C-alpha cells in the first residue's frame, strides 16, 4: 500500500513538472510586433519584375511567416516570395500587401506599372499606301514598310500576312500578288507584339477598258452633290466593261476647287459660284495598259441652288417628242441637260419622276429617273412632282 502511494505521488510530480515546462516555454515565445517593407512605393515597367523585401519585427520573433497579395493582379502581380511583376500599364496604383501569420500585422507598397520604353506601341501604314489599292489578277504591288512606334522601340521588325491567300498573297517584304477576283485585307503586325498592327484593303478587279462621257457638260445645282453612279445611271457616262463583277473603281479628279471630289464615294459637290464650265472632271483608270485606257472628261456647270421648301410650279417638255432606239437609255437629268425638260422655278426643292406610261414599249427604273426603250412604237411618258400635283408629258418614239 505504501509503495502505491509513493508511485502516485511520483506521477503527479512528473506531470506538474511537464506542465510548468510547457507554460514556461509559452511565456518565453517571442510574438511578432509588426512588419515593414523596404519600399512603400514602386514603379515597375510592364513585363518586368522587382523584388520587395519584408522585415518582421522583432528580429527574434518566433514565427516570421508572411503572405503576399495584390489588390489587382491583372495590373501588378506578386509571388509568394514578394516578387512583383508589371502585367499591364495603368495610371492607377496597385497596392501590394504583406501580412504576417503571427498577429496578422500588415505593410503596404503602392505599385505603378509604366510602359516599357522599348516596347512597340503602334504599327502604322502611310495613308497613301492604304488608299484605294486595286490590282488586276496576277498584278503585284509593293506596300511600303510601316512606321513602328515609338522611335525607341527595341524590335522594329514586322510580319506580313493575308486574310485570304486564295485572293491575294503577300511576301515578307510587303509585295502583294493578286490571284483571283475579290477583296482581301493585308495585315502587318509587330513581331514583338501581334496586337500592334495595321491593314490595307486590296481589291482584285477587272480593269476598265474604256471611259466615255456621252455629253460635253453636266449641270450640278449649287451646294448639291452628284455621284459617279448618277452620271452612269442618267446616261452621261459609259464605263466598259459595263456589267463586269468586281470592275475597277476609277479615279475621279476635278480641275478646280469649285467642284470637290470625295474619293471614297466618288461624289462631286458644287461648292463654287453659279457659272458655266467652272470645272473639268476627269475619270481615269488606275492601270497602265498597252495601249493605255484614255480618260474621260466632262465640263461642269453650276446652276441655281435649290431653296428649301420651294415647290415646283411647272413641268414642261419642249419639244414634246423624243426619238430613241431600241435598247437606248434616257433619263430626266439628260432631258434637263438637253433643254427638252424645263422645271420652274429654278430653285425648286422637290423630286421629279416618271409616273405613268401608255404602253410597255419602255421600262422605267425603280426610282422613276430613267427608262430603257424595249419595243418599237410610240409611248407617252408622264412626269410629275413629289406631290403628284404638277405634270408634264412627252411622246417617245422608239425605232429599231
Distance CA 183, CA 381 (A): 42
Yes or no: say if 207 and 248 are a contact pair by the CB < 8 Å rule: yes
Q: What angle do CA 13, 18, 23 make, to 5 degrees?
A: 125
Yes or no: say if 343 and 337 are a contact pair by the CB < 8 Å rule: no
Yes or no: say if 178 and 203 are a contact pair by the CB < 8 Å rule: no
C-beta neighbour count of 359 within 10 angstroms: 13
Distance CA 145, CA 158 (A): 9
Cβ neighbours of residue 98 under 8 Å, at least 6 residues apart? 35, 37, 52, 54, 66, 67, 68, 82, 106, 107, 108
Q: How do beta strands 106-114 and 90-100 pair?
A: antiparallel
Distance CA 267, CA 263 (A): 7
Question: C-alpha 3: how far from its chain's center?
Answer: 102
Q: SS3 breakdown of the chain: % helix, strand, coil, rounded to 5? A: 10, 45, 40
- Which DSSP category does 47 fall into? T
Yes or no: say if 363 and 374 are a contact pair by the CB < 8 Å rule: yes
Listed residue (254, 362, 349, 251) closest to 307, CA to CA: 349
Q: Which domains does the chain have, with CATH numbers?
A: 34-114 (2.60.40.1080), 122-205 (2.60.40.1080), 210-303 (2.60.40.10), 314-399 (2.60.40.1080)
Using a cut of 0.85, tell me whether the model's pTM lies above it: no
Going residue by residue through the chain (400 aa), what tens digit of pLDDT does each one get?
545 544 554 545 444 444 444 444 445 789 999 999 999 999 999 999 999 999 999 999 999 999 999 999 999 999 999 999 999 999 999 999 999 999 999 999 999 999 888 889 999 999 989 887 999 999 999 999 999 999 989 999 999 999 999 999 999 999 999 999 999 999 999 999 999 999 999 999 999 999 999 888 888 999 999 999 888 877 789 999 987 889 999 999 999 999 999 988 999 999 999 999 999 999 999 888 778 899 999 999 999 888 888 999 999 999 999 999 999 888 888 898 888 999 999 888 888 999 877 767 888 887 888 899 999 999 999 999 988 999 999 999 999 9
Question: C-alpha 75: how far from its chain's center?
Answer: 29
* SS3 call for 155: coil
The position carrying cell 495613308 is 127
36 is written with which cell numbers? 515593414
Bridge partners (DSSP) of residue 238 are 212
Amino acid at each position: 500500500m505504501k509503495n502505491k502511494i509513493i508511485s502516485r505521488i511520483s506521477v503527479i510530480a512528473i506531470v506538474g513538472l511537464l506542465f510548468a515546462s510547457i507554460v514556461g516555454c509559452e511565456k518565453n515565445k517571442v510574438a511578432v510586433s509588426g512588419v515593414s517593407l523596404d519600399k512603400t512605393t514602386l514603379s515597375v515597367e510592364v513585363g518586368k519584375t522587382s523584388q520587395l523585401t519584408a522585415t518582421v519585427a522583432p528580429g527574434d520573433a518566433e514565427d516570421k511567416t508572411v503572405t503576399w497579395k495584390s489588390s489587382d493582379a491583372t495590373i501588378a502581380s506578386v509571388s509568394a516570395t514578394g516578387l512583383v511583376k508589371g502585367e499591364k500599364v495603368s495610371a492607377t496604383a496597385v497596392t501590394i500587401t504583406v501580412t504576417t501569420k503571427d498577429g496578422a500585422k500588415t505593410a503596404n507598397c503602392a505599385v505603378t506599372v509604366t510602359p516599357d520604353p522599348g516596347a512597340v506601341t503602334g504599327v502604322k501604314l502611310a495613308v497613301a499606301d492604304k488608299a484605294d489599292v486595286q490590282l488586276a489578277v496576277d498584278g503585284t504591288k509593293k506596300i511600303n514598310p510601316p512606321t513602328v512606334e515609338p522611335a525607341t522601340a527595341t524590335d522594329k521588325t514586322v510580319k506580313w500576312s493575308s486574310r485570304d491567300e486564295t485572293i491575294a498573297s503577300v511576301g515578307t517584304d510587303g509585295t502583294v500578288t493578286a490571284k483571283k477576283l475579290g477583296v482581301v485585307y493585308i495585315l502587318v503586325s509587330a513581331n514583338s507584339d501581334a496586337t500592334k498592327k495595321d491593314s490595307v484593303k486590296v481589291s482584285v478587279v477587272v480593269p476598265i477598258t474604256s471611259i466615255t462621257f456621252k455629253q460635253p457638260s453636266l449641270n450640278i445645282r449649287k451646294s448639291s452633290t452628284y455621284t459617279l453612279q448618277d452620271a452612269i445611271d442618267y446616261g452621261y457616262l459609259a464605263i466598259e466593261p459595263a456589267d463586269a463583277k468586281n470592275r475597277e473603281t476609277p479615279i475621279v479628279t476635278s480641275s478646280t476647287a469649285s467642284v470637290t471630289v470625295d474619293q471614297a464615294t466618288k461624289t462631286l459637290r458644287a461648292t463654287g459660284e453659279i457659272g458655266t464650265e467652272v470645272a473639268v472632271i476627269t475619270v481615269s483608270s488606275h492601270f497602265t495598259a498597252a495601249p493605255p485606257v484614255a480618260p474621260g472628261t466632262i465640263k461642269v456647270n453650276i446652276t441655281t441652288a435649290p431653296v428649301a421648301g420651294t415647290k415646283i410650279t411647272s413641268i414642261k417638255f419642249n419639244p414634246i417628242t423624243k426619238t430613241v432606239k431600241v435598247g437606248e437609255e434616257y433619263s430626266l437629268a439628260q432631258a434637263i441637260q438637253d433643254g427638252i425638260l424645263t422645271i420652274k422655278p429654278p430653285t425648286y426643292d422637290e423630286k421629279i419622276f416618271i409616273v405613268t406610261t401608255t404602253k410597255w414599249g419602255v421600262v422605267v427604273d425603280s426610282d422613276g429617273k430613267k427608262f430603257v426603250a424595249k419595243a418599237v412604237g410610240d409611248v407617252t411618258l408622264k412626269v410629275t412632282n413629289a406631290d403628284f400635283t404638277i405634270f408634264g408629258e412627252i411622246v417617245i418614239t422608239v425605232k429599231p
